Structure 1
Amino acid sequence: WQEVVPFIKEVSQLEKIPIVAANDVHYTEPSDQIAQEVLICIGSNKTLQDESRFRLGSDQFYFKSSEQMRALFQDIPEACDNTLEIAERCDLHFNLKDQQGNPIYHLPTYPTQGGVSLENEMRRLSFSGLEERFVEAKARGESITTEIIPEYEKRLDYELKVIHQMGFNGYFLIVQDFIKWAKQHDIPVGPGRGSGAGSLVAYCLSITDLDPMPYNLIFERFLNPERVSMPDFDIDFCQENRGRVIDYVTTKYGEESVSQIITYGKLQCRAAIRDVGRVMGMTYGEVDVVAKLVPEKLGITIQEAIDTEPRIRELMEADPKVQTLMDLALKIEGLVRHAGIHAAGVIIADGSIVKHAPLYRGAEDENVVQYDMKHAEKIGLIKFDFLGLKTLTHIHEAMRLIQLNRQKVITLKDISLKDKGIYEIMCAGDTAGIFQFEGEGITDLIRKAQPDCFEDIVAINALYRPGPMDMIPDYLGRKKGQKKVVYIFPELEPIVKETYGIIVYQEQVQLIAAKIANYSLGEADMLRRAMGKKIPEVM
């Protein structure tokens, strides 16, 4: 650079262009140089011994202090002064909230028929959809009495008011529109996943296909009027045709308004140890010995592993190479290893996304937002989930073959959840191909539990996961009458009766808080969230 600086000074004087002294920063401290080289080797799949690997060229790429920079450019102090002038010119503000302090969401305006308001369009579609759902239920032989219709209408009216007050009419209409398009074009769509199944509006708009009323699913679990946050439908599409639905929204709202979302894979504990070991030229066996000593704990850090596992400390003390391995792994742990594209998330915005976030072109020339999901949401960009599910493809193909070979047209809406044949098949252990139920462990649980209704199937699915698994023996004992069903308070019986007195679902937690503590369902949802995240002060 000693050769370049005189030339730059000469050009500056001739062209009257100010000089700026820049600090090319790649790492924080001078001692981080080797860690930076390791990181480059990981990214380029090289080792430190590889002569062809990329090198930065010096050890000066750390974050220098003002004093260090002025010492380097003491003969042109104005070059350092100009950095301050540029910093003063940088003035970037994200407009995240409106004048009332509410979050600003960059959601496209949904085009309604005849230019009617979004609120009126939602009401029209929802109440006409409710009538269609009643017709479908009667066709399946289900009883729709005059007594329950007002209950549905009251719940539907309540949800519509909350959705309107929170400003999410457009979101619901956009989702129902692309789901409607998918179904019209013979693209299988899942019946509903996650908390969105608790919305009667979603059921009436055919966003979901499960009636939330008989199963005590709670709307506030999905959209809480006491805690403003975006709704988030998890929507499953046939894996082979998911891209067609994304193409539809891209055409409808404009290519500049639709984008995939970046994901960042980070170097976690074991991966960091293995990657550093490979870059150092250690054998797989040498690194494997250390990596396998890391305790089996979700989210464990390298420092926690060193502190809790004495054998790791012994290896570090006995072998300088292992000491270096762990020191370097500590430095790079948590850094980004690679970038990818979110498996389901797609942003649909109210104009050019590049006005709000940087983009890059993906491998298939698609737009990709360079903010990850959480940061994209913070600036008001809305994520829609387009999940690809192979099971839906298989079900669709099965129905096609039934029509071809048996000349019988059936849809999933024709299948009653009260069909005893469903439970006879599952109780026999014939679960191959059944989504979330075909594993050996859960199949064994089904054989033991002998479910005879849909509620039993739901409970088994909820129990067969880390944590709730501990309640399985108690659940089986109570279901089979071998253990007494006990209710802590008589008031809990209507809430936990179907799960034999055991609290299995988050919705049950909300209902209990509402019943015992007189919480609103919105307040109960905030309690549920605090319990799930283990935040004592909020609880």
Structure 2
Amino acid sequence: MSFVPLRIKTAFSLLRSPIRLTDLIERAKELGYSSLGISDLNVMYAVPSFYNLCLQNGLKPIIGLTLDLPGMILSDQTYPLSLVAVNNEGYQNLLAISTLVNTNDAITISQLKNMLSGTVIILPALGEVNDLIVQGKQQQVAEIITKLTNMGQLPTDIKLGIDFHQSATIVDTLSKLAADNGLKLIADVEVDYLNSDDLFLSRVLESIAAGTKIENVFEASRKRGEYFLRPVEEIEQYFTDMHLQGALQELNRLVSDANVTIDVQEAKLPRFTTPNNLSSEDYLRQICEQGLQKRSKTDGIQNETNYTDRLKHELSIIHSMGFDDYFLIVEDVISFAHRNNIITGPGRGSAAGSLVAYVLRITDVDPIKYDLLFERFLNPERMQMPDIDLDIPDTRRDEVIQYVGNKYGHERVGQIITFGTLAAKQAIRDVGRTFGLSVTQQNQWSQAIPNALHISLKDAQVNSQRLQNLISDSTINAELFRVASQLEGLPRHYSTHAAGVVLSDDPLVNHVPLQNGNEGLLMSQYPKEYVEISGLLKMDFLGLRNLSILADVLGEVKDNSGIEINPSQIPLNDPATIKLFAEADTTGIFQFESSGIRNVLRKIAPTTFEDVALVNALYRPGPMENIDEVVKRKHSEEPIDHIDDSLKDILMPTYGVIVYQEQVMLVANTLAGFSLGQADMLRRAMSKKKINVMEEMKVAFINGAKQRGHSEVVAVRTFEYIEKFANYGFNKSHAFAYSKMAVELAYLKVHYPGEFYVSLLRSVQNNDVKVKQYIADAKKRHIQIVAPSINLSQDNFMITDKQIRFGLSSIKGIRSDFVKEIISERQTNGKFKSFQKFCQSN
């Protein structure tokens, strides 16, 4: 016999337990456990992490769920009901049950009918059965059993939980009830915290959740709890002393029978509905060929043979990897956006290296013109899901997500959960509140913690004398800091992933537990890293403020001058625009605003769009180390070394320095004859410093170079050269796509400054610092800024007669509803004739 805790409550029962999963596993191994079961309250947030950690540490994971439901007899109260999955059918049912609970306002036990197969129900020791016994209503326990069996649950799958903390009288009654109803007793000891002195941490968390204060902190902190993770032998002895070995044996049988496997699943893509019953492959080819014809006309493509051959190559790889539907889904979303005048970004990440994405207008950078590589995006020699992230104006992102939800169905589309944690300042504030600190006192603590990103309380204590003084001021302060330090990092609340949306060919609940999200969508209870291995397609719809600005500028230009500008057709080498970058006049320009990148612009002094993208790529951690070398070579202060003439075209755009990951791939392809797929594997091995793989590939590289007529000296030197820079290489596709967006904004700043600045100011209306900065920059361009007018101003900034006028909402202290009333009154009855008239109308 060996005790196994089946009802461990983790920190993912938000603000109800201080148990971290890593600490749980470590402590369980110390105490001699061979198996563990978690059973968080109503949710399954922790399940995949717990499952993997158990397997990694040689422990058998038992997957459970505790529901908080109205009593089956004492229905005016809620009681815990514990479910344990004994097989994968049971696990699937737990997903469905947790989803049911978290997508409905209130449920009762009767709603779980036909959802309990593959599970064992444990009526917890400290639950409704216990209360019925205490109230002398033990005969009504039989009614509970009848309700459960009427729902399809076999008596063998219903257990009465028994706890060694219970009195002898309760234990005797439970034993008789079990015998009378044909049930088995099972050892059931809840674990709410790891150590007995962690009771206080649980109490603090509960107070944080409830927004209450702890009356006597020191008295409460001295109390020790009973429901902690005890040594196995200790609990077994308790049950043996109470002659409850049978309850332990029943527990062992359940643990032995429980075998749930949570496997990595390949994404099951939704099937795209094509016209005329065409196959996905044929339809994708058709719209790509049509897209290429349109691109040839609008973008002036000269050598169509190169494009046709590349298109065939990419389509064959896409089809062989089973991703035809994926591209059709993404194209459909993009088409919806464009049909509804929602501009989209030029691309993000390696997707800009795909000609298929370009001709479908998913991206807007010509990959052949700029030597962007498809295999950097989708490598046929390494099975992976394509990853196309879509940039959308942040003001219109909801429309796109709603379209996807309506297109594929509410049950098949969802958002992804993320968790906010108790960071340093938040932990101090929350604990301080439960300790009864005033807002002023909480602010003192917060101000004593340095404003460093992700700083821990431990580091803050080391680096802040002010914090050290606060801690030493009193015993209550020392206790506050101790508790906050122990709670720091625990999940505090859930929120929605900023961009991620998941799609499935079947209901999401078949893969992950769900809850209600935002915008009328469901939301996965499993975070991003787990939805991607649960058979779901993840897409990122990123709301970009700068795209909203771009759309606003284009709208202003059209309204003011009647000119309709297609951002896709903005020239990327417009001399005045490139000059703006060379002079680092980039206030308000996406990704080029910081003082650091402006310094790089001044040093490099771009003369082409490629130079602008080069600066964007260089100003990153890692690539920064190459800035000075690029500057010297560009300005002829240092010779440009191409190593070998065959590499000149590859290295010339970056002055002989490998800046881009794609250059590593092209060098391996050109000099050593690697396929682009093999070259991508080499790039990955170098960036991740996989020494064994690199040594193998080095031999292949040298042999390939020699076979192509290069000397071993050149081959070795080239390999060492790319090895030197590969770790700092940046994704060229991403650099060019985002630089294109920057150039589009810069072009509008140069040629339509009034429209540019009014849109820029609107985007930061509530940020006084940015408003001042942008106004100062606008004045340098001789743009007149005028004060708000009760008769002329709208809600936000506006441009009329080449003047930018403040909006009424810019006036401090004015309410938005009052602004609306003023504008409405003006529209109805005309301008205000006097201050008195204005006062009378309001």
Question: In the alignment, which residue of structure 2 is the partner of 1:367?
Answer: 522
> Structure 1 vs Structure 2: percent identity of aligned residues?
38
Q: 1:79 aligns with which of 240, 247, 260?
A: 247
Residue 258 (structure 1) shift: 0.5
1:115 aligns with 2:277: yes
- Alpha-carbon contact 2:581-2:612 (below 8 Å) kept: no
1:172 aligns with 2:172: no
- Alpha-carbon contact 2:266-2:533 (below 8 Å) kept: no
Question: In the alignment, which residue of structure 2 is the partner of 1:209?
Answer: 364
Question: In the alignment, which residue of structure 1 is the partner of 2:289?
Answer: 127
- CA separation in 2, counterparts of 1:399 and 1:90? 61
1:513 aligns with 2:668: yes
Question: In the alignment, which residue of structure 2 is the partner of 1:15?
Answer: 181
Specify the SS of the correspondent of 1:163: helix
Q: How does 1:118-517 map to 2 (within 5 A)?
A: 118-138=280-300, 144-145=301-302, 148-266=303-421, 335-362=490-517, 365-517=520-672
- Alpha-carbon contact 2:199-2:224 (below 8 Å) kept: no
Q: 1:279 to 1:513 in 2, by over 3 A?
A: farther
- CA separation in 1, counterparts of 2:198 and 2:311? 59
Higher relative contact order (CA 8 A, sep 6+): 1
Whichever residue aligns with residue 521 of structure 2, its letter is E
- CA separation in 2, counterparts of 1:361 and 1:92? 26
Whichever residue aligns with residue 284 of structure 2, its letter is M
In structure 1, stretches of 5+ residues that fail to align are 97-102, 139-143
- CA separation in 1, counterparts of 2:211 and 2:547? 38
Q: 2:234 aligns with which of 56, 68, 74?
A: 68
- Alpha-carbon contact 1:136-1:413 (below 8 Å) kept: no
Specify the SS of the correspondent of 2:386: coil
- CA separation in 2, counterparts of 1:400 and 1:493? 44
Q: 1:105 to 1:17 in 2, by over 3 A?
A: same
Q: 1:299 to 1:288 in 2, by over 3 A?
A: closer
Q: CA-to-partner distance for each residue in 1:380-406, whole Å, 9 max, x for gaps?
A: 211111100111111112111211111
Whichever residue aligns with residue 86 of structure 1, its letter is L
Specify the SS of the correspondent of 1:75: coil
Whichever residue aligns with residue 111 of structure 1, its letter is T
- Alpha-carbon contact 1:391-1:433 (below 8 Å) kept: no
Q: CA-to-partner distance for each residue in 1:411-430, whole Å, 9 max, x for gaps?
A: 11221213222212333433
Question: In the alignment, which residue of structure 2 is the partner of 1:105?
Answer: 267
- CA separation in 2, counterparts of 1:95 and 1:176? 31
Q: 1:430 to 1:37 in 2, by over 3 A?
A: same
User: Which has the larger displacement, 519-528 or 159-168?
Assistant: 519-528
- CA separation in 2, counterparts of 1:483 and 1:500? 10
State the TM-score, normalizing by the size of structure 2: 0.55
Q: 1:488 to 1:286 in 2, by over 3 A?
A: farther
Q: 1:106 to 1:421 in 2, by over 3 A?
A: same
Q: RMSD between aligned alpha carbons?
A: 3.7
- CA separation in 2, counterparts of 1:47 and 1:483? 68
Question: In the alignment, which residue of structure 1 is the partner of 2:193?
Answer: 27
Q: 1:419 to 1:286 in 2, by over 3 A?
A: closer
Residue 241 (structure 1) shift: 1.2
- Alpha-carbon contact 1:43-1:338 (below 8 Å) kept: no
Residue 278 (structure 1) shift: 8.2
State the TM-score, normalizing by the size of structure 1: 0.84
1:92 aligns with 2:254: no
Residue 13 (structure 1) shift: 3.4
Whichever residue aligns with residue 82 of structure 1, its letter is E
Specify the SS of the correspondent of 1:371: strand
Indicate the structure (1 or 2) with the bigger Cα radius of gyration.
2
Q: 1:52 to 1:66 in 2, by over 3 A?
A: closer
- CA separation in 2, counterparts of 1:250 and 1:65? 50
Question: In the alignment, which residue of structure 1 is the partner of 2:225?
Answer: 59
Whichever residue aligns with residue 494 of structure 1, its letter is D
- CA separation in 1, counterparts of 2:447 and 2:560? 57
Q: CA-to-partner distance for each residue in 1:174-197, whole Å, 9 max, x for gaps?
A: 011011011101112111011100
In structure 2, stretches of 5+ residues that fail to align are 1-165, 695-842
Q: CA-to-partner distance for each residue in 1:152-182, whole Å, 9 max, x for gaps?
A: 1111111111111111111111011011011
Specify the SS of the correspondent of 1:170: helix
Q: 1:118 to 1:285 in 2, by over 3 A?
A: closer
Whichever residue aligns with residue 238 of structure 2, its letter is L
- Alpha-carbon contact 1:40-1:54 (below 8 Å) kept: no
